[in-house]
Amino acid sequence: MHKRWKRLLHETSVAPRAPARRKVRAYLPESRCFVASCSGAVVAACVVKPLGAGAHELMSIAVRPGGQQAGHGTALLRWVIRDLERRGASRLKVGTARSATNSPSLAFYQRQGFRVMGTDHDFFVRNYPQPLFEGGIRHFDMLRLARKLTNAIE
Ligand SMILES: CC(C)(COP(=O)(O)OP(=O)(O)OC[C@H]1O[C@@H](n2cnc3c(N)ncnc32)[C@H](O)[C@@H]1OP(=O)(O)O)[C@@H](O)C(=O)NCCC(=O)NCCS
């Protein structure tokens, strides 16, 4: 099971695969991993890293290709949000590529209450050795989003 969700996160990471795979491996030891399964098969996985002071970051979320847009990603994200709230966490952050081709991911997060906090300019230039393209557009900047968790004491 362990290998299967790791493969799922790798397969659905932004190309090129090799640096993305290294990045996922680097943050796994300090993170918690969640999976959604259907009839024993992993359909979605995500990784959440504690940042301290009640804040957490959603480092990766991926639904198996072929199973996307069927509600699995939303169900998993909602479950994770509820779990963090039960544990008294205050804030969940996420980063997503700031690009016209990435608007479905932005809609996915905004539907779950995430608000745009800012832009990390040249994130993909600084963090990836090769240029990353999606739909013919190069990724340069990371959009930073965050969602307050309801049990937060601030
Ligand atoms: C992004 C992702 C996790 C969403 O999970 P999902 O199970 O496919 O999404 P759900 O079915 O729960 O929700 C669908 C909603 O998400 C958004 N969405 C996500 N991916 C989309 C896509 N490729 N095309 C259109 N809408 C998409 C839409 O808002 C959609 O709502 P709608 O159906 O009413 O238009 C999943 O598509 C995925 O693994 N994508 C590849 C990896 C990735 O991009 N991860 C996020 C990196 S920031």
Report CA torsion sign: 113, 143, 139, 47.
Answer: negative
How many domains does the chain contain in total? 1
Question: Token pair 């990724």 is at which residue?
Answer: 139
Q: How far apart are CA 46 and CA 37, in angstroms?
A: 12
For 110-138, the pLDDT digits (tens) are: 999 999 999 999 999 999 888 999 899 99
Whether the pTM exceeds 0.95: the reply is no
Q: How far apart are CA 94 and CA 116, in angstroms?
A: 10
User: Is 102 inside any structural domain?
Assistant: yes
Q: Bigger pLDDT: 96 or 150?
A: 96
Q: What is the CATH number of the domain that holds 26?
A: 3.40.630.30
User: Is 51 inside any structural domain?
Assistant: yes
Is residue 115 classed exposed, middle or buried when 0-12, 13-18 and 19+ CB atoms within 10 A define those classes? exposed
- Bond from prior residue into 19 cis (ω within 30 degrees of 0): no
Q: Is 68 in the pocket of ligand 1 (CB under 6 A)?
A: yes
Return the best residue to mutate from 63, 96, 144, 147 for the ligand 1 pocket (most ligand atoms within 8 A of CB). 63
User: Is 110 inside any structural domain?
Assistant: yes
User: Is 25 inside any structural domain?
Assistant: yes
User: Is 153 inside any structural domain?
Assistant: no
Paired strand residues for 43: none
Q: Bigger pLDDT: 14 or 143?
A: 143
Domain of residue 121 covers 2-148
User: Is 154 inside any structural domain?
Assistant: no
Q: Is the model's pLDDT at 17 over the cut of 60?
A: no
Q: How far apart are CA 74 and CA 93, in angstroms?
A: 16
Q: Is the model's pLDDT at 66 over the cut of 70?
A: yes
User: What kind and span of H or E run contains 68?
Assistant: none
pLDDT for 101: 87
Q: Is 101 in the pocket of ligand 1 (CB under 6 A)?
A: no
Q: Bigger pLDDT: 101 or 95?
A: 95
User: Is 28 inside any structural domain?
Assistant: yes
